[in-house]
Amino acid sequence: MKLATWNVNSLKVRLPQVLDWLAANPVGALCLQELKLDHDKFPLEAFAELGYQACWAGQKTYNGVAVISKGEGLHVQRNLPEFDDHQQRIVAATLSSPIGDIRVISAYCPNGQAVGSDKYEYKLRWFAALREWLAGELKQYPRLAILGDYNVAPRDEDVHDPAKWEGGVLVSAPEREAFGALLDLGLTDAFLMFDQPEKSFSWWDYRQMAFRRNAGLRIDHVLVSDALKPFCTACIIDKEPRRNEQPSDHTPVVATLEFGSA
């Protein structure tokens, strides 16, 4: 069973690319971020033609998240229940698997804009609310994976030029601490479970030929719970979609769960 995450930066623009990618890369679940679509504009029929179901939380122009899955998503939760927020940043669904139910969450974490700004303070409050909610989710669903665009590069190795970015948004100490607090709940960054190429990134700015220069950041993550960790056998960044014409500035991250060998 493969679990993938992809910030598509407008599903309306990138729908053909997403469908092509799914056709070539079948997954148990694909978590999407930045749909940038009204809730009632979600292209469910297009995914159904490939044999997928979906649950989503849409928002015009900004935000929006989805879980595209082979099986039906149950017990769907949209947004953080104890955090008053109109922004559509969370959707969670329970999927069946050979080892029992797995809770899959698609998360689009706030960007923060600039350290010290109102949006930065909102980001830190949002992360605190996410941690509080996840603590309860993990008790109810010990087999849990939360995938998405976290807008945090956790380590200097996840930044193409740490000195240039030092202290800035996406890499500041409070943001990294907020990300680490999620891990402290009993979650593991699946990508770091395996040997990976140096300078592995999931996002590259559209400007200054950043992708060509590999001037990127690793800010898209797959976090798996302690109960799922033994089944995770691989996690990769698929850079191919970033080479598309009119690509998203992000590219998919894909984790593989093998249930027959653990």
Q: Residues with catalytic annotation?
A: 108, 149
3-state secondary structure of 165: helix
Q: What is the CA radius of gyration of the chain?
A: 17
3-state secondary structure of 156: helix
Q: Which amino acid is at 26?
A: P
On whether the CB atoms of residues 4 and 252 are closer than 8 A, the answer is: yes
User: Taking the alpha carbons of 40, 25, 78, 128 in that order, is the dihedral positive or negative?
Assistant: negative
How far, rounded to the nearest angstrom, does the alpha carbon of residue 247 sit from its chain's CA centroid? 17
Tokens encoding 237: 């960044």
Q: Are strands 29-33 and 2-7 parallel, antiparallel or unpaired?
A: parallel
Map tokens 């109102």 to a residue: 118
On whether the CB atoms of residues 187 and 223 are closer than 8 A, the answer is: yes
DSSP one-letter code for 72: P
DSSP element (H, E) containing 22: helix 11-24
Tokens encoding 240: 């191919």
From residue 16, alpha-carbon distances to 9, 74, 247 in Å are: 13, 27, 11
